[in-house]
A and B are shown apart, each in its own frame.
Chain A
């Protein structure tokens, strides 16, 4: 495990400017996220020739055991970045789940155990707060469905930054508690995530704070690229054939694509066509709906699903996720709440990974795609698990077993064991029927 450190030396940045993804207008790399001319999103632009000169598989392997081994690909200008050991989570070769689904080369990227707050958000926040400090912010903030709140509050605490986070007021108890423990100012907004996000955009106009997913969003979102780099490195510097990832705003999904493309560009991996499939919950599926109806625009929806961490009705990068799914011959598929719970249970029972509802959505979509013949059993498929089930315990309460409460004697134990075996047999029969 990497020790938490704040480094102090200075190096030259490999990023040059922010560029509008729509019209190409160029901006200085400051705290701004939207094109003044067309309102398109701004994206960090890099000098890939410079990166190519600096990195090799060896220099990366010799780097920290965290996302910062890919520092040359990340938008920080100094080596004074915040390294709390985020990243380098396990890439597991799936045996039992793969067998259950009939896949031969399934891998699970397990960010349910990412550090420090058990979701992929620690990647994006580590990058955003590092950049926030470079830009001189002393207060950081975010609009969150829960995981981002946990991560921003925790890493701000470590870095000594003031923190104010905004969440919908109906979030799971674990996500609220898992934010409050770091002692930020927590605003629980009466409304859904899209309303929280709108409010934060208005607050960002006047407060002078660094909002990780608003005015710092171009830097923040780049952190998700490390999910691509790590998978490539962990596969022995090869790209997979197919990935399945959850889609909320569409940012993670599009940045994994960008990450693979960058590795090809600087020659760290061979060029390869990777198919991109995305997962949404039926109760909030604006991107999947557009994909399934063949539209090239997103119609916002009002979320109603247990998968709260991916319940974004007006996804900022929805159109880009759509483009990538089409371009790569992937799919964006949706599953209902019951399938999401089954997905969570399936992953836990076959691989020992307890994921949250977003992961349940992703596993359920993986299953649906396999059953529909949309994933070839031979393909090297990577499924991204982005959050931890301990945070959303409400979702599975009532759908899993109960303990046998027994007396402290052998007789009581034997009677309970017999009862459990009878129940197991009944369950087995149900499965066979």
Chain B
């Protein structure tokens, strides 16, 4: 199963400067683990010490904020697009 992940500029040093990468995982939690095994070091940037996504990080599945879905338990299907967006923009 493959999910397309959109990576912000600030994290592209972990992805060999790629703006998108393919990953696996049945939900967001698993995707974060899969991202870490593909791009070592990236999870520590995305998550706090407790393993939760950081305060200023937004995660979207097919354009929907996971906070309007099931949070890190939000399930993923083949072909889904996950976007990682730092919240500090706009206004």
Contacts and interface: CB of A to CB of B under 8 A. Distances in A.
B8 to A, nearest CB: 6
B30 to A, nearest CB: 21
A249 B68 CA distance: 19
Interface string A19-42: 000100000000011111111111
Given A34-B10, A36-B10, A314-B58, A202 B83 contact: yes
Interface stretch (A60-68, A192-200, A345-353): A192-200
Given A38-B54, A40-B56, A205-B19, A299 B89 contact: no
Give the residue among B8, B63, B85 with the most A Cβ atoms within 10 A.
B85
B67 A299 contact: yes
B26 interface: no
B68 to A, nearest CB: 7
A249 B90 contact: yes
B45 A36 contact: yes
A123 interface: no
A104 B85 CA distance: 46
Name, among B9, B54, B91, the residue most crowded by chain A CB atoms within 10 Å (CB to CB): B91
B39 interface: no
Interface string A189-221: 001011101101110111000010111010001
| A interface: dominant SS | loop
A327 B67 CA distance: 28
| Chain B, interface SS category | mixed
B58 to A, nearest CB: 7
Contacts of A215: 9
Nearest to B87: A316
Contact of A214 (B45, B83, B90): B90
Interface in B6-51: 6-12, 19, 45
Nearest to A22: B56
Contacts of A319: 55
B67 A300 contact: yes
B86 A34 contact: yes
A358 interface: no
B88 A213 contact: no
B73 interface: no
Interface in A33-55: 33-42
A39 B19 contact: no
B65 A194 contact: yes
Nearest to B67: A300
B56 A317 contact: no
A38 B85 contact: no
Contacts of A206: 19
Contact of A217 (B7, B8, B65, B89): B89
Contacts of A34: 8, 10, 56, 86, 88-89
A200 to B, nearest CB: 7
Closest 4 CB pairs of A and B: A249-B91, A41-B88, A197-B90, A39-B56
12 contacts: A34-B89, A39-B56, A39-B86, A40-B88, A201-B85, A202-B85, A205-B6, A205-B9, A213-B89, A213-B91, A215-B9, A319-B55
